[in-house]
Homo-oligomer: A and B are copies of this chain.
Amino acid sequence: MPTLYNRIANQNLDRLSALSDGVFAFAMTLLVLDLRLPAFAAVHSEHDLWRSLAALGPSLLMFLMSFLTLGIFWNGQQTQLNYIERGDRDLAWIHLAFLFTITLMPFSTRLLAEFIHFRSALLLYWGNILAPGLLLYAGWKYVSRYQMIRADTPLEIRAAICRRVVIAQTLYAIGALLCLFGTFWSVGFIFAVQLNYAVAPRLPWRRRETTAA
C-alpha cells in the first residue's frame, strides 16, 4: 500500500539540503558552547587570564578538529547532492541517517576532549567519522544504481566521488589503528588528514598537479 507514497515522497532535494544546512550549522555552533569562561574569582591579573585562556587551548583545538570534520562532510554531501537529479524516500532516509551521525559529532568530540588518553573514546570518535562516510558512500551507490544522477555528469566525476570517500576513510582508519601506539598519534594523524583536505589544495606544489591533471 505505501508504495505509491514512497514514489511521490521527497522528490524535491531542496528541502533535504536546507535541513542538512540547518543541522550542520547547529552542530558547528554547538561545539563552542563547551568553551567555558575562566572562573571570575580565580582571575586576579592579566597574567591569570592569559593562563586560564591558554588552558582552553586543547578544547579549542579539538573544537577546530571537529569543525574541520563537519566542514569536510558538509562539502562531501553537498557535492553529491549537486549531481543528483531527483530524490526519493529511500535516499531521504539515507541522508537522514547521515544527519543523525552528524548530530552525534558534538558528543563524541566532547568525549574525546575529556578522555583523550582512552582508546575507547578515540575509537568512538573514529566510528563517528566512519559512519557518515559509509552513509555518504551508500547514498552515492544508491543513486548510481537507480539512475538518479544527472544525465550530464561525466563518468570520471561519478568515479571521483566514490574514490574520494574510500581514500579518506582509509586514511582515517590508519589514524584509528595508530592508537595501538598511543591515542595522541591517532589524534595527530587524523587532524593532519583533515587539515590536508581543507588546506592542502591551495599549496603551490598541489596547484602544479592540478595543471598537470
The chain A residues found within 8 Å of chain B, CB to CB, are 1-12, 14-15, 17-33, 35, 37-38, 40, 43, 46, 49-50, 53, 64, 67, 71, 74-75, 78-79, 82-83, 89-90, 92-93, 96, 99-100, 103-104, 106-107, 110-111, 114-115, 118-121, 124, 156-157, 160-161, 163-164, 167, 197-199, 201-202, 206, 209-210, 213
Contacts and interface: CB of A to CB of B under 8 A. Distances in A.
A29 B28 contact: no
A10 B157 contact: no
* Secondary structure call for the A interface: helix
Contact of A24 (B3, B22, B115, B213): B22
A48 to B, nearest CB: 9
Nearest to A196: B2
B103 A67 contact: yes
A14 B81 CA distance: 12
Contact of A93 (B22, B30, B71): B71
Contacts of A18: 17-18, 21
